[in-house]
Amino acid sequence: MKRLLPFLFILTLQADDTTTKKGFVILNTLTQQTDYEMRYASEDNFIGSVITGYEAPRCYLSKEAAKALLEVEKELQREGLRLKVYDCYRPQRAVDHFVRWAKALDDTKMKAQYYPRVDKKVLFRDGYIAARSGHSRGSTLDLTIEGLDMGTSFDFFDPRSHTLSTAVTQKQHQNRLLLKKVMEQHGFKNYAEEWWHYTLKDEPFKESYFDFIVR
């Protein structure tokens, strides 16, 4: 989860608001060369249930972010590599679900898998959970290179998940840097505390936090 962002404003939208979706595309319909493992549309995530706002395993992105990501995909394909996407646009109602869960300190169903060394009560303080997420602006996504060992799993709440952590092996470090290099070459920037988290530098909706349902 990205650290608390300065409050700008939230653009609340109905699920059928086609005007809103004009600036977005569904990556799944543009390419099947990328693997889609949309964790929040399943129970395989740090909460252990389908997250509010996810009704289908689809990757919505702003048109600009999707275009840049397709160039990343092409470059990796030339090396015989393939992207795997875990999350893309995230409705504000999903972020609200994360916040409710973080406050329920007795719900530690997925602790052993996702935050074994972190006490749940510090998730807000340490920035693992926040009330706003860049994902809700539509140009941020979580991803990896399929088959490469990155040292931790996606959404692993631990300092070892920091992109430049020295607590991983040299090979795992190199794999993270490969992802970072190719993403940066095509206009994305990494969030240093999460090796999987990237945002388009020139994102089109910098001041909007959307809330339409992923379906």
Question: Tens of pLDDT along the chain (215 residues)?
Answer: 444 333 333 333 333 344 457 899 999 999 989 999 999 999 999 999 999 999 999 999 999 999 999 999 999 999 999 999 999 999 999 999 999 999 999 999 999 999 999 999 999 999 999 999 999 999 999 999 999 999 999 999 999 999 999 999 999 999 999 999 999 999 999 999 999 999 999 999 999 999 999 99
* DSSP helix/strand/coil, 190: strand
Domain 24-200 has CATH 1.10.10.1800: no
What confidence tens digit (pLDDT) does each residue in 8-52 have? 333 333 333 444 578 999 999 999 899 999 999 999 999 999 999
Indicate the angle between helix axes 170-185 and 63-78, nearest 10 degrees. 130
CA 90, 213, 73 angle in degrees (round to 5)? 50
Burial of 82 (0-12, 13-18, 19+ CB in 10 A): middle
Active site residues: 194
Helical H runs in 115-152?
A: none
